[in-house]
Each structure stands twice: as structure tokens, then as C-alpha cells.
Structure 1
Amino acid sequence: MAGILDGKRIVVMGVANRRSIAWGCAKSLMDQGAQVILTYQNDRLKRQLEKISPEGTPMIQCDVAEDVNVENTFNKIKEDYGNIDGVLHAIAYADKKTLSGGVIDVEKDGYNLAQDISAYSLIAVSRYASRIMNEGGSIATLTYMGSTRAIPSYNMMGVAKAALEANVRYLARDLGDKGIRVNAISAGAIKTLAVTGIKNHGDLLKESEIRTVDGKSVDIFQIGGTAAFLMSDLSSGITGDLIYVDKGVHLLS
């Protein structure tokens, strides 16, 4: 049976290991027929990707800390594989000191780093990806409801996610005339490498699970299914939007 992404070439950025939401997305895209190109920050993460990815999966290094790296990555993709049809941006970072304290304790360097990697990187990725993206292409990023609510212990990352979501809206406007859509998936809390960096993450995960409509946490492949939809032509009328994939946690106060 044909998949909804047959013939599409999609870049997935931010897979850390097999528990990553980004991996759930990458696997779902592959299952729907997409050719997936993975990017990685360093050799350690590349080794993780090689352990979990099908043999022959394209992988290209990209450290989004510098714009020139992002530009070179998409130039390399164009040179080796041609145009692309989509990008999944699943990149976020704040240093341990910045994550462990309240927003009141955040220092300028920590604030700038979190915003740079977690929010600004989507702008840089969209800029260079859009230059090699076919009309009808799609860009999606991952966020969390800590962007609009003061979630205990989420702190600075919530501030960065708020900026990320604003970026989505403005990028959707800027890229609309190129036929490129930009959206965000607000994923439920899942035990990933990123979440374990948050203070008291166990309490966050437990509270989130309690607040789901069925008492069970969302999984990475349920989020991946939404990513596949957003990368497909089925979502051609959706842009600048945020889709919650958290089993209803955001419905409860």
C-alpha cells in the first residue's frame, strides 16, 4: 500500500536516540514512504543514529550554533540529493545551570544560548531549507505547552518555546508566497534525553500522565503520525498553526 509521503524527501534534525520524539517522527515518515535525511550535531550522536537507522540512511552533520553550518548543510543536501519537500526541526537546548533555576535566576548568557539553539535555529533552518524546497513543502517544529503556561521546573525552556511558536507564525507568513507551510507540534511530556535534563522531570511526567484523557502518556510514534500528516499534501491548508499531540493534557487547567 502506498504511503502518504511516497516520493518525498524530508530532513529530520534532532534525533538523539531511539527514545527521541524526533526518532518517532523519522520512523513514521519512513513508514509512510519518505526518503529521510538525518542531521546530527557531532560524531557521538552520529554513532547513535547509525545504531537505530536503516542501512543506507543519509546522514549529514549540522551544528545549528552557527548559521554557516546550517547553510553548508542544506547546500550539501542539494548537491547530493536534490531538492527537498520538508524539514522536521526537533532541536532545543539550555545549559544545566539555566534549566535548574527559576526564570528569575537566568543570566544573560544562559538566556541567549537557550533562545539561540531552541528558537532562532528554526529561522536559520527555514531560511536555507526554503531555498532548496519544492513548492508545497512543509516545515514543522516541536514545542510544549510550557510556552503558554508556567509549568513547574520547565522555566527558561518555556520562554524559549514561546519564542519558537512566534517564529512559526511569522515564518508561515514569510514563506507563504513560496508555497511553503510552517507549523508546530505541541507534544505531550515523554521521557526523553531532553526531558531528563529538566529538574524534577519525574514529577512532570507523572503529572502529565495523570492529566491525559485515558491515563496513558502519548508515545513518540503517535507524535510521529502527526508529523507525517504535516509533511504530507493532506495538510496543504494548514500553516502558522500549532497542533497538540498530548492526549488532552492541554485541556485541563
Structure 2
Amino acid sequence: MVSMEGKTGLVFGIANDRSIAAAIASECHAAGAKMGFTHLPDTDPERPKAAKRLHKVVDGWDPALVMPCDATNDEHLDAVFAEAEKTFGKLDFVIHSIAYAPIDDLTCPVYDVSRDGFKMSMEISAYSLISLTNRAKPLMKDGGSILAMTYLGGETVIPGYNLMGVCKAALESTMTYLAAELGPSNIRVNAVSAGPLRTLAASAVGDFQQMQKLYETFSPLRRNITFEEVGKAGAFLLSDAASGISGENLHVDAGYHVMGAPPMDVAELS
């Protein structure tokens, strides 16, 4: 296990316990990190569903702060980072696990995506990495690490991933430009590209069972990955053990991304 003793971080985008961000944060906590967390603002103060879901996941990690945050709202972002500076004094890492597309624009062909849906999806899924990085940079006084979540659909066409693939392509390019710009400040920016895991986001993308079957059949390891595996990979990239890695899109997908055709021993995918 990597050591993250004395490290402080902010985590954006934990939806529930079956979230890649939660898996990474869990490993960071086990390695000694102290973290703050955000959730979507609740519209009904009497029934704070988003806050309750987050607390259910993170309360066992002794969170330093838990705050509402809409990634499209500059006042919310400013408040979170101001509270982080007040609480921690500095930041060592940020986990960005933010993505969204309106369901009608996500499920339709890319050529039929609406202008407003495209703008909203890009702002939340890609620009949000810029807005978080802009605010994190002044707090990373001794350097730091920023980690985004992506998927193979940002590199090549995955049927059913549609508009989100376009957004992930933008996110991955943004990650590399930020890595180049922040490198002189000893701030590393990377991404984790995980194989299919049964998350809340995955439920909106195509035939998930078929996708898992493809990975089991075609990947070099002939299996799917686990939350623990991607959690450990993410914690590694955030830790000093990865101090020489920046601008990297680390695939945690049992090797699926290297395959250009089915393995020779696969007769037929049933």
C-alpha cells in the first residue's frame, strides 16, 4: 500500500458507495490521507438525499468537511476551496469525478445532440476540471496531484457511449494541457480510465451486461476489473509513489484497450 500520511485532499463526485471516486478515496483514507467531500446541492432541505448518500459513504473516514457544490456555480466552488484552505491550510490532491449529460442527449445519436445539451455536458464533464484546477493551484503550495475519471469511449468509439465519449475526449485533452501548464509548479495531472464497473453512471450507458461480457472475452486478462483495483491505481497516482507521472491516462481495464481484434482463441461471443 502507498503512504499518504499527512496528505490532504478534496473529492468531488462521489454518488454512492459503488462509485469509482469512492473506491479511490477509500484507498486514500486507508493510506492515511485526510479529505473533504462535496455533494450535489439538495433542493429540499427537509429531505437532503444527496447529503445523506454521501455521509453514508464517507462518515467512517472522519471527513474534515462535507459541503454542497454545483460544479457550474462559481460561488459554490469558491466556498468549497475557501473552506478547504481554512481547514487544511493547503491541498495535496483533488479527485475530479464529475460528469453529466441530459438523458435525451446521451441516448440519441451524436449527430442529433441538442446545442444546449452539448454545452451543458461539456461544461459539467470537461470544463469543471479546469475550474477545479484553477482554484486548487494556489493551495498546492508544495506541489500536488489532480486526478480525473475517464473511459475508453473518449479515445475510440464505444457504441452506446455517444455524447459522453465526446466529453471524455475533451476531458482527456484538457488533462494533458493542464499537466503541461502546472508541471513547473510541481503539480501533476492524470486520469484513470477504468473498465466497466456497475456504477450509477454506467446504468445510463447502453447494454452494460454485454459490455462486461466483451471485456471478459476480449481483454488479455480475460476478466473484468474490481472497484478495489481501480481504487488502488487511483491512490497510487495521487501519492508520492507516482511523483514522476503526469499527463498520463492510466488504463485499469484488464488490458482491453490494447486489443485491436478478438483474441485468436475466441470462437464466438454469445
Superposed, which structure 2 residues align to 1:54-133 within 5 Å? 54=60, 56-57=62-63, 58-133=65-140
SS in 2 for 1:26: helix
Partner of 1:20: 19
Alignment equivalent of 2:50, drawn from 45, 57, 70: 45
Q: TM-score, normalised by structure 1?
A: 0.95
Partner of 1:189: 196
Distance 1:210 1:134 in 2: 46
Distance 2:2 2:166 in 1: 37
Shift of the 202–130 alpha-carbon distance from structure 1 to 2, 3 Å rule, reads same
Unaligned residue ranges in structure 1 (runs of 5+): none
| Correspondence 1:157 to 2:164 | yes
Partner of 2:253: 246
Distance 1:250 1:125 in 2: 28
- Report the Cα offset of residue 3 of structure 1: 5.0
RMSD: 1.5
| Correspondence 1:213 to 2:220 | yes
Greater CA radius of gyration, 1 or 2? 2
Partner of 2:44: none
Unaligned residue ranges in structure 2 (runs of 5+): 42-47, 261-270
Letter in 1 for 2:55: E
Shift of the 55–248 alpha-carbon distance from structure 1 to 2, 3 Å rule, reads closer
Q: Deviations over 1:110-169 (max 9, x none)?
A: 111111110000000000011111323000101001011110100000000000001011
- Report the Cα offset of residue 55 of structure 1: 6.0
Q: Deviations over 1:174-205 (max 9, x none)?
A: 11121111011111111100010123333223
SS in 2 for 1:84: coil
Partner of 1:234: 241
Q: TM-score, normalised by structure 2?
A: 0.89
- Larger RCO of the pair (alpha carbons < 8 Å, separation 6+): 1
Query: How many residues in Structure 1 have an aligned counterpart in Structure 2?
Result: 252
Shift of the 55–168 alpha-carbon distance from structure 1 to 2, 3 Å rule, reads closer
Superposed, which structure 2 residues align to 1:162-173 within 5 Å? 162-173=169-180
Partners of 1:152 and 1:204 within 8 A in 2: no
Q: Give runs of ≥4 in structure 1 deviating > 4 Å.
A: none
